[in-house]
Amino acid sequence: MHETELCGIVTRSPIMARLLEDLWLFAPLTEPVLIQGETGTGKSLVARALHTLSARRDEPFVTIECGALPESLIESELFGHERGAFTGADRAYPGRVEAARGGTLFLDEVNSISLGTQGKLLRLLEEGEFCRVGQQRPISIDVRVVAASNAPMADLVAAGRMRADFYYRLNVLAITVPPLRERLEDVPALVRHFLERDSLPRRCGVTAVADTVIKELQVGTWPGNVRELFNVLRCEVVLGGEGSVLEHISLPGPPVPPPAAINASAPVGFRAWMRDREREYLVDLMKRLSGTAQVAAVAGLPERTLYRKIKKLGLS
């Protein structure tokens, strides 16, 4: 599979190539789009691409982080309010919907909003109008709604946490962004994209990543997806950068379960067993030697690599 790039999305994966084809098909339309996928897969990048490829590209692209706003504020942030609508409303405030007039309104983590707010958004989706808080006369508006969810919306409907009519009206055009573990062939392209677009490797003088490191990255499960991959790379170019090529990397281990959840008789994987042996070895050296320089020399590791391992293993 050849490498493809569209609006900052880079891929060598067949499933992502189909996603890019859907972007081209959906972008010229005005219907709502629902983007679903795990946290860190790049849903906001897909939303931005839909806007950039559309005829609305020169109009506003307005994002509202639904999960970051308390319920008491989200309605006012979305629809705005009139003067005197509530205590402290000393002037009228146009919300994000009005700010997106003619363009695209991106509702990130739409799965987190309440049933009441869903009903008010349903009116916007169905009739193209809304009311500010404290206002009776509806405002008509031309805006395209794109929403993202990090939880399966159909499951939320079944659990009573999502209105069925809101879900079906929002889910006119659907895009599912696959997790990174299902498209590990994208890792080399993503690493190259990171080196070219992120300012941190340039500031640290890192211009390349060794092939051995790329292969290590391609065996990870990446529960945090592309965001986790980029954060690992950012950490490594700061802590492990010795020259212009990143030649070593420490992959994050799986989350450690609470003590009560550990079954002492359960078998452990090879990586976990090796991590425990590495910890025991370094603890023993640190007890017997004085200073990280001596420990690094005996272990045959660069001091920066030793420091990184100490930090990763939680040693002091």
Residue 74 pLDDT > 50: yes
- HSE, side-chain direction, 13 A CA sphere, residue 294: 8
The phi, psi pair for 287, rounded to 5°, reads: -75, -35
* pLDDT above 90 coverage of the chain, percent: 54
What mean pLDDT is predicted for residues 25-30?
96
Q: What is the pLDDT of residues 125-156, one digit of tens each?
A: 999 998 888 777 889 999 999 999 999 999 99
Higher pLDDT, 289 or 180: 180
pLDDT score for 261: 42
pLDDT tier at 164 (50, 70, 90 boundaries)?
very high
pLDDT score for 58: 97
What mean pLDDT is predicted for residues 30-48?
96
What mean pLDDT is predicted for residues 175-184?
96
Residue 84 pLDDT > 50: yes
pLDDT score for 93: 78
Question: Pick from 142, 108, 100, 102: which is nearest to 125 by CA?
Answer: 142
Domain coordinates in residue numbering, the chain: 4-178, 182-255+267-312
Burial of 21 (0-12, 13-18, 19+ CB in 10 A): exposed
Amino acid (1-letter code) at residue 69 = L
CB-based contact 146:32 (threshold 8 Å) = yes
The phi, psi pair for 9, rounded to 5°, reads: -95, 120
**What is the pTM for the complete model shown?**
0.77
CB-based contact 142:124 (threshold 8 Å) = no
Residue 81 pLDDT > 80: no
131, 132, 134, 138: CA torsion to nearest 10 = -30
Q: Count other C-beta atoms under 10 Å from residue 29's C-beta.
A: 14
CB-based contact 10:186 (threshold 8 Å) = yes
Mean per-residue pLDDT of the chain:
85
CB-based contact 44:63 (threshold 8 Å) = yes
pLDDT score for 138: 87
The phi, psi pair for 99, rounded to 5°, reads: -65, -25
Residue 9 pLDDT > 70: yes
End-to-end CA distance of the chain: 46
Highest-confidence segment of 7-21, 87-101, 293-307 = 7-21
Q: Which CATH architecture has domain 4-178?
A: 3-Layer(aba) Sandwich (3.40)
- Residues near 287 by beta carbon (within 8 Å), at least 6 away in sequence: none
Residue 167 pLDDT > 90: yes
Only one residue has tokens 């929002």, namely: 170
pLDDT score for 271: 62
Residue 278 pLDDT > 60: yes
* pLDDT above 70 coverage of the chain, percent: 87
pLDDT score for 254: 56
- Residues near 205 by beta carbon (within 8 Å), at least 6 away in sequence: 241, 243, 244
Six-digit token string for 165: 């009519």
Asked if 4-178 and 182-255+267-312 have one fold, the answer is: no
pLDDT score for 267: 57
Fold (topology level) of 182-255+267-312: Helicase, Ruva Protein; domain 3 (1.10.8)
The phi, psi pair for 59, rounded to 5°, reads: -100, 175
Q: What's the CA gap between 215 and 139, in Å, rounded?
A: 55
Q: What is the pLDDT of residues 217-276, one digit of tens each?
A: 998 889 999 999 999 999 888 876 567 888 888 776 655 444 444 444 455 565 676 677
What mean pLDDT is predicted for residues 28-57?
96
